[in-house]
């Protein structure tokens, strides 16, 4: 069994998610209540027939900062899962990837074993459950889609809400002080690695560009 999680605005959600859905998959969504987002929420609801279980949590937007809003939404969707340990895999997915079908073979063991050999002894004390797998570009994770296990997601996201908000706001301030302006992938990488989770290149994943959406309302 696996869980697929989607967070933030659902703009351009389409059939590109269907290869990751089946009757052994549960889909969890946290998103924002807005007029622009409503049509995409309705489109997401149609995915119920593709999966075992469908859960969606819709709330009023909490933060003006787009990155903080998106990361917080991810926190909410992970914490909405009643029994996260039941899943063999968890996939985080961003719906506006510009592809009709994303070619992907879920085989995290292959990527982990390759990384473990190539980086010996750096991963010898880290289990596969301590890792996230995705596209890595010069030390940073492409946060639009990555996979992992319950242990890793709990390390990053399982904590009291106020503590998590303070953590991500402090991290944002730290990075702004260091870089003045920065890509969200740097934030995600720091958040994940500071939680004790390693990031490994997923050998079977290639991500396309985002679709261009002309309404600037954030994540």
45-55 pLDDT tens trace: 999 999 999 99
Rounded CA-CA distance 34/109 in Å is: 40
Confidence of residue 215 (pLDDT cuts 50, 70, 90): very low
Other Cβ atoms closer than 10 A to 18: 14
Rounded CA-CA distance 125/69 in Å is: 34
Give the Å distances, CA to CA, from 80 to 4, 39, 55, 75, 158.
12, 23, 9, 9, 11
Contact 202, 54 (CB under 8 A): no
Domain boundaries, the chain: 2-201
pTM: 0.92
Please tell me which residue, 18 or 25, carries the higher pLDDT value: 25
Residues 91-124 have pLDDT tens digits of 999 987 766 667 788 899 999 999 999 999 988 8
Residues 59-98 have pLDDT tens digits of 999 999 999 999 999 999 999 999 999 999 999 999 877 6
Work out whether the CA dihedral 182, 104, 48, 78 comes out positive or negative: negative
Contact 149, 90 (CB under 8 A): yes
pLDDT at position 1, please? 92
Contact 201, 129 (CB under 8 A): no
What is the dotted CATH code of the domain comprising 2-201? Answer: 3.90.550
Give the Å distances, CA to CA, from 76 to 55, 136, 140.
12, 25, 23
Give the sheet arrangement for strand 198-201, strand by strand: 53-59, 25-32, 2-7, 89-93, 140-148, 131-137, 198-201
Confidence of residue 148 (pLDDT cuts 50, 70, 90): very high
Rounded CA-CA distance 97/75 in Å is: 21
């Amino acid at each position: 069994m696996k869980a697929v999680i989607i967070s933030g605005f659902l703009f351009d959600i389409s059939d590109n998610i269907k290869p990751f859905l089946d009757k052994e998959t549960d889909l969890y969504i946290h998103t924002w209540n807005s007029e622009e987002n409503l049509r995409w929420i309705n489109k997401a609801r149609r995915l119920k027939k593709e999966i075992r279980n469908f859960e969606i949590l819709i709330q009023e937007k909490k933060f003006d900062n787009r990155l903080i809003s998106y990361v917080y939404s991810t926190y909410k969707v992970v914490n909405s899962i009643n029994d996260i340990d039941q899943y063999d895999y968890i996939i985080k997915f961003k719906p506006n990837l510009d592809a009709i079908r994303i070619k992907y073979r879920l085989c995290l063991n292959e990527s982990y074993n390759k990384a473990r050999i190539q980086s010996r002894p750096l991963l010898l004390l880290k289990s596969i459950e301590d890792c996230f797998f995705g596209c890595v570009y010069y030390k940073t994770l492409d946060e639009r889609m990555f996979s992992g296990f319950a242990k890793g997601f709990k390390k990053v996201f399982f904590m009291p809400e106020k503590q998590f908000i303070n953590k991500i706001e402090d991290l944002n301030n730290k990075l702004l002080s260091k870089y003045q302006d920065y890509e969200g992938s740097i934030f995600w990488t720091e958040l994940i690695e500071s939680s004790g989770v390693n990031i490994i290149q997923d050998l079977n994943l290639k991500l396309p560009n985002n679709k261009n959406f002309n309404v600037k309302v954030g994540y």
